[in-house]
Amino acid sequence: MSNYDALFPRNFHKMLPVAVRGEGSWLFSADGRKFLDASGQAAVVNIGHGVPEIGRAMAEQSSQLAFAHTSQFHSAPAEKLAARLLALAPPNFRNGGRVYFTSGGSEATETAIKLVRQYHLEKGQSARYRILSRHQSYHGSTLGAMTVSGNLARRAPYQPLLAEWGHIAPCFCYHCPFEKTFPQCHLACADDLDFFLEGKEADSAAAFIFEPVVGATLGAAVPPEGYAARIAEICRKRGILLIADEVMTGMGRTGKPFAVQHLGVEPDIILVGKGIASGYAPLGAVLVSQNVVEAFEKGTGSFKHGFTYQAHPVATAAGNAVLDYIETHNLFARVAPAAQALSAALAQLQSHHHVGEIRGLGLLLGIEFVRDKSTHAPYDHSQVIADKIRSAAMEEGVLTYPIQGCVNGTSGDHILLAPPFIITTEESALIAEALTSALSKVFPN
Ligand SMILES: Cc1ncc(COP(=O)(O)O)c(C=O)c1O
């Protein structure tokens, strides 16, 4: 039973500690324990916990101007943050791109879905409405975002409420859906989009949404060379927009401001959330490239969509303060060496007979646990291996992010590691030690 009885919890059967303080890469609970936050909670806390400058900037903004409705006013912090994000984005966002701020990642996905639909209406293509996506993906928990998500377990209870717009194969070399190997596969998983669009309903396709590195659902699966470029080429050829969901991978998590910058593609829309305000405020953003903006400017000029709290002055002030902190401490540049130190520390786990793969990019790493290392066969999901690892690591004082379903939506166990960019080499060693101990408890033989 829950130890709190007024809050509606995520799980009524779990006892959770009460978090009271955060500092750097550490969280402290009311019962006197401290935890090393190896997952940045859920890949959120990029700059670390308890940075006083952020709270000060938010307090200052809220005493100056806490709220003004976006149908009546613009606000300076939102405009400033929008310009800074566009300057970090790929070139097609820099001249004439715009940013739509939301209160989180799911709202960003919802906004993109409607933006794409209206874009095609503005261009006179009223048949286009389907947003295609991949199996085993996650783009948020609201109904539109779940419609484009491909995670079976999260969709299952809500199936009757969800439209079916089409999902293609995931890009997941460790469990290739075509049982092929790169490069002999010739990127069959990318061509799956083309095959789908040869179908009779191709004229209703509006966009394709993908995570450049698949975070939660596949445990930091990085696409092979050429995948994203092939996908971008198919989208252009078929007249549909490309949406990069960078809610988890954006704002430096992979070592560049946006993960697509490793892959050399220019999507039409980029979604941001999580790290944009590093957990200090609920904030998300939709970066809209110049070609999409132009369709609205030359068309009706009015986007039929809105949230009361969009472009919130205090939330965007938090975003600006986080970016100031990143710039002052050169934190984007810190990701690559910190990731190298963490990967080096984790290398000792690789030989464990139930560690299938350690993968990822920058400070977004996944560790997949398998029953049989030679065949990559997963444990039955009823064994809840990932959560057992989380629990054992937590007993050692290290927080991880466990998920099941990477193989087929239900089976497949992994944990995500996404620590703050300030993680030290000593802290990385603590993470590896805690996981070694967790592995020996969960797999005693
Ligand atoms: C890739 C991706 N998109 C969207 C979301 C939804 O974001 P939020 O939980 O802020 O609504 C998430 C959350 O985990 C995510 O990982």
Q: Is the pLDDT of residue 2 over 70?
A: no
Q: Is the pLDDT of residue 276 over 70?
A: yes
Q: How far is the CA of 27 from the centre of ligand 1 (A)?
A: 22
Q: Is the pLDDT of residue 154 over 90?
A: no
Ligand 1 atom having least distance to the Cα of 104: 10
Residue nearest to atom 7 of ligand 1 (CA): 105
> Tokens 């990019």, residue?
361
Select from 103, 139, 269 the residue to mutate for testing ligand 1; criterion: most ligand atoms less than 8 Å from CB: 139
Q: How far is the CA of 145 from the centre of ligand 1 (A)?
A: 9
Q: How far is the CA of 38 from the centre of ligand 1 (A)?
A: 18
Residue nearest to atom 10 of ligand 1 (CA): 105
Q: Is the pLDDT of residue 3 over 80?
A: no
Q: Which 8-state DSSP code applies to residue 382?
A: G
Select from 109, 154, 247 the residue to mutate for testing ligand 1; criterion: most ligand atoms less than 8 Å from CB: 247
Cα–Cα nearest to 418, from 345, 363, 357: 363
The share of the chain scoring above pLDDT 90, in percent, equals: 95
Q: Is the pLDDT of residue 201 over 80?
A: no
d(Cα 130, Cα 240) in Å, to the nearest integer?
10
Band (pLDDT 50/70/90 cuts) for residue 284 is: very high
Q: Is the pLDDT of residue 425 over 60?
A: yes
Q: Sheet of 26-29: strands edge to edge? A: 19-23, 26-29, 34-37, 398-399
Q: Is the CB of 246 under 6 A from ligand 1?
A: no
Ligand 1 atom having least distance to the Cα of 105: 7
Average pLDDT, the chain: 97
Judge contact between 424 and 30, C-beta under 8 A.
no
Q: Is the CB of 245 under 6 A from ligand 1?
A: yes
Environment class of 348 (CB within 10 Å of its CB; exposed 0-12, middle 13-18, buried 19+) = middle
For the chain, the maximum distance between any two Cα atoms, rounded to a whole number of angstroms, is: 66
Q: Is the pLDDT of residue 199 over 90?
A: no
Q: Is the CB of 310 under 6 A from ligand 1?
A: no
Cα–Cα nearest to 39, from 428, 416, 438: 416
Q: Indicate the range of 2-11, 54-63, 354-363, 413-422 predicted with least confidence.
A: 2-11
Q: Is the CB of 234 under 6 A from ligand 1?
A: no
Q: Please report the pLDDT score of residue 1 as a whole number.
A: 39
What pTM does this model have? Answer: 0.98
pLDDT in tens, 361-382: 999 999 999 999 999 999 999 9
H or E element, residue 22: strand 19-23
Q: Indicate the range of 75-84, 201-210, 430-439 predicted with least confidence.
A: 201-210
Q: How far is the CA of 64 from the centre of ligand 1 (A)?
A: 31
Q: How far is the CA of 415 from the centre of ligand 1 (A)?
A: 16
d(Cα 98, Cα 94) in Å, to the nearest integer?
9
H or E element, residue 288: strand 284-288
Report CA torsion sign: 322, 325, 327, 341.
Answer: negative
